[in-house]
Amino acid sequence: MDSYAFGNFMQVIIVATVCFVATGLVGRILWRVGSRIRPSSRAESNSSISDDRFHRLETAVDTIAIEVERISEAQRFMVGLLGESSQARRAELPLMSRPERTNTPH
């Protein structure tokens, strides 16, 4: 009974391996056949459409890049203005309101 179960188990392994190998070979053959097919005249007419689309896409990406650069410059400018105003406020504070430093012995 033990050898019968082992035989069935080996049959399943062999059949599964053959199926995997056959699937790989069929897939490779179909891949090669599919890559040899020449584009039709309809696909060639679509190439001009895709060239126009790519040109519009490139223009849109350039425009977005310029706008992002403007936004980042505006943020840097605002940070500079806020930094200058806080320094000016510190200079305007009277000396009495500034906390004095104390020397602690530790």
Domain range annotation of the chain: 49-92
- The predicted pLDDT at position 1 comes to 60
Q: Each residue's pLDDT tens digit in the chain (106 positions)? A: 688 888 888 999 999 999 999 999 999 998 888 877 766 655 555 667 788 889 999 999 999 999 999 999 999 998 888 887 776 666 666 655 556 677 777 6
Distance CA 53, CA 59 (A): 10
Nearest to 34 by CA among 43, 42, 46, 26: 26
Quick one: which H or E segment has residue 28?
A: helix 2-36
Distance CA 36, CA 29 (A): 11
- The predicted pLDDT at position 106 comes to 61
- The predicted pLDDT at position 50 comes to 85
Distance CA 29, CA 15 (A): 21
Joined together, the tokens standing for residue 66 give 């310029």
Cα of 69 vs its chain's centroid, Å: 20
* Predicted model pTM: 0.39
